[in-house]
Amino acid sequence: MKRIAALILAALMCVALFAGCEKKPKEDFEYIKDKGELIIGITLFAPMNYKDENGNLVGFETEFAEAVCAKLGLKPKFQVIQWAAKETELAAKSIDCVWNGMTITEERAQNMDISIPYLMNKQVMVVKAENLEKYSNLANIAGAAVVAEKESAGESVVQSEEVFKNAKYTPVDTQAKVLMEVAAGTADIGVVDYVMTIGSIGEGTDYANLKIVETVDFAEEQYGIAFRKNSPETLAKFNGAIKELAAEGTLKAIAEKYKLQDLLIVE
């Protein structure tokens, strides 16, 4: 019996030894650092990430991400994704973060680690100028064709706010498409980020005939950067870099370039 007990004890010790020698999974920041690049999931919409007249990717989020990566010794690689698939792409490591005017919500915080908030936002209704008076009377929204980006904060507003209860809602792939649909007359109302409307609609833009309906206010939101769940070191590194850029005045300078300085927040 003593011999059997000794053999069992020896076996257990071997199991424990091998378990202790197993390679621990890398923390996400170590994984990203080893690659040397940060794959950033985006959609294209001004003034966050968009192409200029020469086809170069520019925008507030583009320059913001580049500045943070410079501090952390990483090379930014921007990858266009389907917004509705962002969490799946992140979990599968097709991307390393979602950095594209992403509204912080409780649901998203349960599935992803999210940075400190850095920019204020809200959802707004956009209509053709000739329909502004009509839809300023919120009763006329009943029966109207409404569009918003699928899985976006705009879609959440349409699905939860009483004013849209009797509207005809259709989700679309991107916020850019929301503006296109309204401008083309295939939708009556688009619900988009207020940030997107800055410099994108009104006089001197490609959507000069679009206006914001000012008679309704939706709750304010905050933007954050999403990383894979359980990545405390990653959050600490990026939050630290964001605070450094704010303290130096660099973040404000980038925001001013895209007329977003009044919405900038860094706690």
List strand residue ranges (DSSP E) for the chain, in order: 37-42, 50-51, 57-58, 75-80, 97-103, 112-114, 119-128, 145-149, 168-172, 189-193, 210-212, 220-228
Question: How far, in Å, CA of 87 to CA of 76, rounded?
Answer: 19
Inform me whether the pLDDT recorded for 263 exceeds 60. yes
Give the model confidence (pLDDT) of 215-247 as tens digits. Answer: 998 999 999 999 999 999 999 999 999 999 999
Matching residue, tokens 């992803």:
112
Name all domains of the chain by residue range, CATH numbers in brackets. Answer: 28-120+222-263 (3.40.190.10), 121-220 (3.40.190.10)
- Cis preceding linkage at 76, omega within 30: no
What string of DSSP letters covers 169-226?
A: EEEES-HHHHHHHHHHTS-SEEEEEHHHHTTTBSTTSTBTTEEE--S----EEEEEEE
**Residue 17 pLDDT greater than 90, yes or no:** no
Residues 170, 164 contacting (CB under 8 angstroms)? no
User: What are 266's two structure tokens?
Assistant: 């860094």
**DSSP 8-class letter at 85:** G
Chain segment 64-97, per-residue pLDDT in tens: 999 999 999 999 999 999 999 999 999 999 999 9
What is the DSSP pairing of strand 75-80 with strand 168-172? unpaired
What's the rounded mean pLDDT across residues 182-192? Answer: 98
Tell me the average pLDDT of the chain.
Answer: 92
Residue type, 219: A
Q: What pLDDT, on a 0 to 100 scale, did the predictor assign at position 25?
A: 65
- Min mean pLDDT across 18-32, 121-135, 253-267 is at 18-32
Structure confidence at residue 27 (pLDDT): 84
Question: Residue 16's pLDDT band (boundaries 50, 70, 90)?
Answer: very low
